Chains A and B, each alone.
Chain A
Amino acid sequence: MTVVQPLKGPAPIKPAARDSGDIAINCNVSKIYYGNFLAVRDARVPIHKGKITGFIGPSGCGKSTVLRSLNRMNDLIQGFRLEGDVHFLGQDIYAKNIDPVVVRRYIGMVFQQPNPFAMSIYDNVAFGLRLNKFKGDYAQRVEHALRRAALWDEVKDKLKASGLSLSGGQQQRLCIARAVATEPTVLLMDEPCSALDPIATRRVEELMLELKQDYTIALVTHNMQQATRVADITAFFGVDISKGGRTGYLVEMGDTEQIFQRPREQLTQEYISGKFS
């Protein structure tokens, strides 16, 4: 096993204002708006360190919206407005003096569609390192990241080939390698398997279980079986259509086993037994 050198990245975020305990991200969203549209309300979702937190729920329940607000990816959407706060290791990332670009370097993201850059496999993984002006052994670091993503054996002889030449499942693992190369603290995964076939899905799931030894993972999934297979803790989101619009909210959250075996809420029970989706 190779030894990982510490990443000399941007200046570390200042020491936690208050002890965050075993919570990596304390998401305390009371409302998320897109323009005048209330997309999400009441989503208090603590993301525990070293665990996989699964977000499940029907379409339009705002699970992706909540996930993307954890590293301020929603800032790029016009009209986005968040009420409440999101604390990352004790710091409110929506505070005025926070630089979202730095936040995203600590909280990496893997997207629904595999999205490697139009460059070589090697350069894809080294991209984040170069971005952070990493001084050290790039080749070793790239190999390490590709091994972490369980992709090394498949690509070690063609590191100069295009990242886009890989199959969908390989591309997604390349994206995971790219995300972990810079050793982020938290990985956000937004339905990372929805564009993959069952075999590739299985590999990515195994990978997530591997990765949780070093990373905190928040996973949005449309697939309840996936949540039962990989998530330690599950948050179930529902859709409230009572006020005309479609507003997502957190119905209940707990250990995955409890959510699927002994849900407290009627709605959760109906969802996991397949009465609606």
Chain B
Amino acid sequence: MTDTTIRGAPIGSSRVTGAGPAPILVHDWSESRALRNVTLTAGAWLVAILAAVPLVSVLYMLIVHGGARLSLELFTELPPAGFEMGGGFGNPIVGTLVMVVIATVISVPIGVLAAAYLSELGPDTQLGKASRFLAKVLTGFPSILAGVFVYAVIVLAMGSYSAIAGGVSLAILMLPTVVLTAEEAMKMVPRKMKDAALGIGCTRTQMIWKIVLPTALPGILTGVMLGVARVAGESAPLLFTALFSNYWLTSLREPTASLSILIYNFSSMPFENQIELAWAASLVLVLIVLVFNILSRLFGRPKY
């Protein structure tokens, strides 16, 4: 009836009408199918572990080298000069936070509105397609070029390195991440919910503000956090825009310290104290990004 066989017995042999041996259903590890299955599963495990190695080892190094130096005075004191002992990086923490806030304040409104256009108003228009493409290109934009661009446009015009210039350069790097993730989040809002809003008499603007944005909020916040995480550790654009400062921030229009530049400066110094501080600063930078992530998860949880 059939020439297909399983383990030597014809498939039909176990049917009601067929006479023959009972089917053998137990595992047979010598079969090539079983062998392939085991090998591939083990391979996938191995690769997954390999992928985690760099991250875990970096974290390990940071905790070992930076953790020892962790203390309250790191957050309150200014960076030490040459042979000075002690000191901290209070002003770079403030500088980094301030510039990240500036970047967020600039990029989130623009990014979310652009995403609303891409997702709801003109997804298939020429403008929509072009700006989505450009946003994708911008995600891979070399960060140093953002710095050079802002140097030419803002630093030269203002006549000074500043927190504003630093924030703007970070905003340029943050923008595409916000746009693309917010667009994705808004597209995830079910079509039927959008139809319901229009059916009850919303204009498209009302639909976006009252239904799409609130429903997509968790996804949008995730995008913002991804953006923050990306730019908080950027150093190249800040070299050209915020530079560095050994003093507390007093104005947004003057050179501003940041953790990433402090790490860059101190890690190449021949002093033990500074190198230790660079390690500690790296750990603090990672912790800041981690805290932002946890906060966004807490506040970005869907309410309903």
A binds B: yes
Closest Cβ of chain A to B129, distance in Å, is 15
Please determine whether B192 and A113 come into contact, CB atoms closer than 8 angstroms: yes
A110 to B190, CA, bound (A): 16
Residues from 98 to 153 in A contacting B, C-beta threshold 8 Å: 101-102, 104-105, 108-109, 111, 113, 115-120, 127-128, 131-132
Closest Cβ of chain A to B181, distance in Å, is 19
A175 to B200, CA, bound (A): 10
Residues of chain B with a CB closer than 8 A to A111's CB: 192, 195-196, 199
Residues of chain B with a CB closer than 8 A to A175's CB: 196
A217 to B200, CA, bound (A): 16
Answer whether residue B302 sits at the interface, using C-beta atoms and an 8 A cutoff: yes
Please determine whether A115 and B304 come into contact, CB atoms closer than 8 angstroms: no
Answer whether residue B76 sits at the interface, using C-beta atoms and an 8 A cutoff: no
Residues of chain B with a CB closer than 8 A to A127's CB: 200, 210
Question: Interface majority SS on B: helix, strand, loop or mixed?
Answer: helix
A117 with B196: in contact, given A163-B304, A164-B304 (CB under 8 Å)?
yes
Q: Which stretch from B17-25, B103-111, B201-209 is at the chain A interface? A: B201-209
Please determine whether A128 and B200 come into contact, CB atoms closer than 8 angstroms: yes
Closest Cβ of chain A to B128, distance in Å, is 14
Closest Cβ of chain B to A65, distance in Å, is 14
Answer whether residue A182 sits at the interface, using C-beta atoms and an 8 A cutoff: yes
Answer whether residue B211 sits at the interface, using C-beta atoms and an 8 A cutoff: yes
Which one of B192, B200, B214, B302 lies within 8 Å of A131 (CB-CB)? Answer: B200
A162 to B303, CA, bound (A): 8
Closest Cβ of chain A to B2, distance in Å, is 38
A73 with B199: in contact, given A118-B214, A131-B206 (CB under 8 Å)?
yes
A71 to B192, CA, bound (A): 16
Please determine whether A115 and B190 come into contact, CB atoms closer than 8 angstroms: yes
Answer whether residue B130 sits at the interface, using C-beta atoms and an 8 A cutoff: no
What are 22 A-to-B residue pairs whose CB atoms are below 8 Å?
Answer: A73-B195, A73-B199, A76-B195, A101-B201, A101-B203, A104-B199, A105-B200, A105-B201, A108-B199, A108-B200, A116-B196, A117-B196, A117-B197, A118-B193, A118-B215, A119-B304, A128-B201, A131-B210, A163-B304, A165-B304, A175-B196, A178-B196
Extra 9 A-B pairs, beta carbons < 8 Å, given A115-B190, A132-B201, A182-B201: A73-B198, A76-B195, A108-B200, A117-B196, A118-B215, A127-B210, A131-B200, A178-B196, A179-B199
